[in-house]
Amino acid sequence: MDSGELKMGWARQYMPVLAEIRKRFEAEKPLAGATVGMALHVEAKTAVLVETMAAGGAEVHITGCNPLSTQDDVARALGRVPGVHCYATRACSVDEYYDAMDKVLDASPNITIDDGMDLIHRIHTLRRDLLDTIIGGCEETTTGIQRLRAMAEEGALEFPVIAVNDTPMKRSFDNIHGTGESALSSIMITTNTIIGGKWFVVAGYGYCGRGLARMAHGLGAKVIVTEVDPRRALEAHMDGYHVMTMKDAAAIGEIFVTTTGNTSIITGEHFPLMRDGAILANAGHFNVEIDIPWLEEHAEEKETRDSIDTYLVNGNRISVLAEGRLVNLATTKGMGHPVEVMDLSFALQALCTEYMYKNGGDLTGGVYEVPYEIDATVAHLKLASLGVTIDELSEEQKTYLQSWTAGT
């Protein structure tokens, strides 16, 4: 076995929910006849999802959703799985990135699975010829769904898409635990510096930000949160963190991580205020949260190490990890979210794909929630794999909960 297959075997060991789904897919072939086009981070856990889809009868065409997150050995191993075509390569140019996306679209997928809406954007702009054959799609991440909702509000979204990110079984685990653990572990292994005792600035106190804040605090960091939403700022305050503006945090922070999905969070207004040795990373969306063009233009010097660019600003060294792209996946040592977390997210993707293939023809263009039954199935399968049983509502309790007259 080569290294890509070994990585896939390792991931499979810790993905019991997808393993159960795969068994059923192998027997029932619910995706027979489907062509699934995917743009996801191409690494071992994603490969297990792809195998599951193929086991269900789908033909899968996949590329990456970030130029730095592909693991080439896994991409090669995936390409050898029957029914699977993989076009992703690591550190590709922007042109190569979109060429690979076009190869996925050339296969005329009838289901799309996106992480950041790249395929759907391309279909609605440059590849409108494909709209006739597409049944529907699934979206993995917060920013992708925000954009899909914006499209839907303008009436521009022409097929149904399931908002996988927004369901509790995804974001309560993936965004909170996944981002918290994987961003921190990637920062630690890339920089070999300590978290304990440091001023650790988290920009954005959403699902990702709170996971990161909690875990950095758990390692002994003094956590500062920056926010624009007053409710979330107040939550961060009551959760025990220091809340302030980025301008104030800039002079104090030793490690900064952005998790906003927004643009221009750390900019030329902040870099000159920073301490010597400050470390900056992004765990949100694209590489626009940290203003790297400003650093490229204004820094007195630049030194590059493995996944670390150090800029000299006012004589102080400011280091940006992974070119400001997702720190948990885009550093050379970043492994992405823990396997068990992606087992849940990708079990949802597998079941939502099955649902969309079966029911999408009856739905109109728009953003749809993950059906409750799918969320509950994934939770039950995971609990069963852990050997955990839980109580069930009695008939009396169900009646009580549904009544407005009882208990008053």
Single out the residue of 37, 64, 180, 204 in contact with ligand NAD (rule: CB under 6 A).
Answer: 204
Q: Does 208 bind ligand NAD (CB under 6 A)?
A: yes
Q: How far apart are CA 301 and CA 232, in angstroms?
A: 38
Q: Which is nearer to ligand SIB, 130 or 283 (CB)?
A: 283
Helix axes 118-125, 142-153, angle to 10 degrees: 30
Quick one: CA torsion of 251, 254, 257, 262, rounded to 10 degrees?
A: 10
Single out the residue of 69, 89, 110, 179 in contact with ligand NAD (rule: CB under 6 A).
Answer: 179
Shortest distance, CB of residue 389 to ligand NAD, whole angstroms?
30
143 is in an annotated binding site: yes
Q: How far apart are CA 59 and CA 206, in angstroms?
A: 36
Shortest distance, CB of residue 279 to ligand NAD, whole angstroms?
16
Among ligand SIB, ligand NAD, none, what does residue 63 contact (CB within 5–8 Å per kind)?
Answer: none
How many other C-beta atoms lie within 10 A of the C-beta of residue 386? 10
- Which 312-341 positions form the footprint of ligand NAD (CB under 6 A)? 326, 328
Q: How far apart are CA 408 and CA 404, in angstroms?
A: 8
3-state secondary structure 262-322: CCCCECCCCHHHCCCCEEEEECCCCCCCECHHHHHHHCCEEEEECCEEEEEECCEEEEEEH
Residue 352, both tokens? 């939502």
How far is C-alpha 291 from the geometric centre of its chain's CA atoms? 21
Shortest distance, CB of residue 115 to ligand SIB, whole angstroms?
5
405 is in an annotated binding site: no
- Which 241-300 positions form the footprint of ligand NAD (CB under 6 A)? 259-262, 265, 283-285
Q: Which is nearer to ligand NAD, 175 or 191 (CB)?
A: 175
How many other C-beta atoms lie within 10 A of the C-beta of residue 229? 12
Single out the residue of 52, 141, 307, 345 in contact with ligand NAD (rule: CB under 6 A).
Answer: 141
Helix locations, 42-117, DSSP H: 44-55, 72-79, 94-106
Residue 309, both tokens? 């660019």
Q: Which is nearer to ligand SIB, 147 or 198 (CB)?
A: 147
Q: Which is nearer to ligand SIB, 110 or 143 (CB)?
A: 143
Q: Which is nearer to ligand SIB, 279 or 348 (CB)?
A: 348
DSSP string computed for 121-178: HHHHHT-GGGGGT--EEEE-SHHHHHHHHHHHHTT---SEEEEGGGSHHHIIIIIIII
284 is in an annotated binding site: yes
Contacts of 263 (CB under 8 A, 6+ apart): 288, 289
208 is in an annotated binding site: yes
Among ligand SIB, ligand NAD, none, what does residue 184 contact (CB within 5–8 Å per kind)?
Answer: none
Residue 236, both tokens? 């961060």
324 is in an annotated binding site: no
Site string for ligand NAD, 158-177 (x = CB under 6 A): -------------x--xx--
Single out the residue of 103, 232, 237, 242 in contact with ligand NAD (rule: CB under 6 A).
Answer: 232
Site string for ligand NAD, 23-52 (x = CB under 6 A): ------------------------------
Q: Which residues would be at the binding site for ligand SIB (CB under 6 A)?
A: 40-41, 43, 45-46, 65-66, 115-116, 140-141, 165, 174, 178, 285-286, 326, 328-329, 336-337, 342, 345
Shortest distance, CB of residue 329 to ligand SIB, whole angstroms?
6
Contact stretch for ligand NAD (CB under 6 A) within 76-84, 206-214, 358-366, 367-375: 206-214
